[in-house]
Amino acid sequence: MGSVRFDFSRLPLVATLAVSWLLVGCVVQVDSEGQVATEQARFEVDGIPEVTLSTFNGRIDVRAWDRPEVAVDVEKRGATSELLDGIQVVSDQDGSRIHVQVQRSPQGTWDFVGAPQSARVTAWVPARCRLVVRSDDGSISVEGVEGPIELRTADGSLTALKVKGDVRAHTGDGRIKIEDVEGRCDLTTGDGNVSVRGRIMDLNVRTGDGSVTVRALPGSSMRTNWNVETGDGAVVLILPASFDAELDAFTGDGRVRIAGLVPELRFDRDAEGRDRSRQSLRTRLGDGGHLLKIRTSDGSIALKSVD
């Protein structure tokens, strides 16, 4: 159906950033899923901004660009106009610090039992940016940002592509995918697979239920101890051939296998010499150093060298 665009350009200037959202633009539409409204805002910044984005229910996507400004679009959805009006966008800027929060108004929201409300956030930030992104219920993706980066959601997947700096990601229920990372990774999920690829400096991975795949490219190194843990799932670590660590791997129900990293290592074999596996393995990789601890309650553990 048609849309209505509100022109606020004639309103007097006031010193509230909440109004600045309306000055930039607001579009209201009606589709098969109910009421939809889009709000937009722009924030000029100097230097490296600190950006915090959050929504009560919905996906958040963040992309880097080469402009000295932060742009945020919020797509609000409600089954009724009352529910749509109950979604508020609150923002403030203090120099290079920008905070945008999408929240539900406490008035009248729960009169419509079971009626959906959501708000999807799409943002563009300078490539160098201190970033915090949170959703109470929804997936989060970030691409091209040089951090530090913090991602949190109670329910949804987390994805970070082509990122640098410290990456902290936590989801209560969902997969975590970190690709082309350069820096430290601290990743936890209550239920979901975890995959990491890049030049990794420090690593902490925990999943309550899911597989873990780590591909540490040449240039990766351990500045502190690494920990990889899953309650139920396989673990695969692909490491540089010259990687230095003290390995401590254990599986409660499965086998530990290693190839290409410790040539002199000899596993127990069966009567026919075919079995090169066991449940627990402690050995030195390269020149040793920090502890590389791997645990799974149920699943195999495989360590390989980068091709």
Q: How many domains does the chain have?
A: 2
Q: Which of 111, 129, 147 is the last residue of a domain?
A: 129
Please tell me the predicted confidence (pLDDT) of residue 158: 99
pLDDT at 26: 53
* pTM of the predicted protein model: 0.85
Please say if the pLDDT value at position 163 is more than 60. yes
At which of 129, 160, 187 does a domain end?
129
CA-nearest of 143, 129, 122, 140 to 98 is 129
| Between 265 and 234, residue with greater pLDDT | 234
Q: 100 or 79: whose pLDDT is higher?
A: 100
Tell me the C-alpha distance between 24 and 18, whole Å: 11
Domain of residue 270: give its range: 175-307
Average pLDDT over residues 236-261: 94
Same domain, 107 and 213: no
Residues 4 and 121 in one domain: yes
In a domain, residue 105? The reply is yes
pLDDT at 266 over 70: no
Do 112 and 189 lie in one domain? The reply is no
> How far is Cα 160 from Cα 164, in angstroms, rounded to an integer?
10
Q: What is the mean pLDDT of the chain?
A: 86
Average pLDDT value for residue range 209-214: 98
155 found inside a domain: no
Q: What is the pLDDT of residue 33?
A: 60
* pLDDT interval class at 273 (50, 70, 90): very low
Rounded-to-integer distance, Cα 122 and Cα 297, Å: 39
105 — pLDDT class (breaks 50, 70, 90): confident
- Is 158 part of a structural domain of the chain? no
Say whether pLDDT at 108 is over 80.
no
Tell me how crowded residue 93 is: count the other CB atoms within 10 A of its CB.
18
Of residues 10 and 28, more confidently modeled: 28
Residue 30 pLDDT: 53
